[in-house]
Amino acid sequence: MTPKLEDLVNLIFNKLNTYKNKKLFLKKENLNKFILSLLKEN
């Protein structure tokens, strides 16, 4: 994973974890896999 993409994943992960309206249970590894799967399809 490129550093730029890693920064993007970190940003999304932090935003989702600080979302106050609902409690989200998210693992960073799962988010990484999801984003990579989206990029592979393009």
Quote the strand ranges of 1-42, DSSP E: none
Q: What is the pLDDT of residues 2-17, one digit of tens each?
A: 899 889 888 888 888 7
Three-state DSSP at 25 gives coil
How many alpha carbons lie under 13 Å from residue 11 in its C-beta half-sphere?
6
Which tops the pLDDT comparison, 31 or 26?
Answer: 31
Cα 8 from Cα 35, distance rounded (Å)? 10
Question: What was the pLDDT predicted at 42?
Answer: 52
pLDDT tier at 41, thresholds 50, 70, 90? low
